[in-house]
A and B are shown apart, each in its own frame.
Chain A
């Protein structure tokens, strides 16, 4: 019996990464800006997304959303009230969305084609750890943090905030009641991801939403050349 070493140097999530690269290419070809929203359960991803969908729709833009949860289609039904096409992905116990799930739900989505969309939002499973390892082919990964969660969330979950392209603070309307230390939260986010764009929002009052929408339009314009609105 002989023993020997075989060098592999192979990414463990290579299959997901390859599928995500394929998705990224198809998003680019269709001219749709894709965002992946990640946060803990209860941060207000759904409320924030509902408002975003409504406001983009009101500007005449074509939007849709995929929403991941372990079980139930409650979030999809809630988001559908915006009038945008929404599809629920139930992971049945899996703590994150992966590129295969996205591809499968895009393929069989009745009445929705990537080419017919300007923006596609993916609301990930509420979890601050696992979704950061799985590329969904998105252009922008958004980490959300609510004022009720504590300003040190970015320090506790550095991977998620470090891998994000933008950060959104939600529920700013109740910041004072929660004794939210805004300066500290901004400092902590910047400590983990220096220079990241941070939006301070309230889905309830609409505070900060316009700045967020202008950012989305500018990001899409990087590809299309002309902003959808200013």
Chain B
């Protein structure tokens, strides 16, 4: 439900990033935006894509692709002393030994990983 605010925030951040690029990048446009989204981030990729076109319209991101890289939950198991990747988000137990694990190492990410940009006209 809050995907619209999230997409708005992404578009703002990327626009600011472009503005902070060197002069030669003036007039450049964004081709692709890559996100890292944890399985527990409460964000639905389809809903992000649904808002993407609407929010990016009229910005340097217009027409760009959104690539969402979903990350599974990784917990640290105190009994095994190792990290373990969970298959889902229905049970926080070590898949090796079955012990409950509350020490999460991955799964809540909600980040812009990178953007691909096409530079505008280079000044001579």
Residues of A within 8 A of B (CB): 1-15, 94-96, 127, 129-130, 132-133, 155, 158-160, 162-163, 190-196
CB of B9 to closest CB in A, whole Å: 5
State the main secondary structure of chain B at its contact with A: mixed
A residues in contact with B10, CB < 8 Å: 12
Asked whether, in the complex, the Cβ of A127 is within 8 Å of the Cβ of B114, the reply is no
Asked whether, in the complex, the Cβ of B41 is within 8 Å of the Cβ of A159, the reply is yes
Asked whether, in the complex, the Cβ of A190 is within 8 Å of the Cβ of B100, the reply is yes
Top 8 closest A-B pairs, CB basis?
Answer: A194-B100, A130-B2, A158-B89, A159-B42, A8-B112, A194-B102, A95-B1, A159-B40
CB of B122 to closest CB in A, whole Å: 8
Whether a CB of chain A sits under 8 angstroms from the CB of B70 is no
**B-side interface size class:** 35 or more
Whether a CB of chain A sits under 8 angstroms from the CB of B87 is no
| Most interface-central of B17, B90, B119 (chain A CB within 10 A) | B90
CB of B12 to closest CB in A, whole Å: 9
Asked whether, in the complex, the Cβ of A2 is within 8 Å of the Cβ of B118, the reply is yes
Select one of A5, A163, A192, A196 contacting B108, CB under 8 A.
Answer: A163
Asked whether, in the complex, the Cβ of A95 is within 8 Å of the Cβ of B92, the reply is no
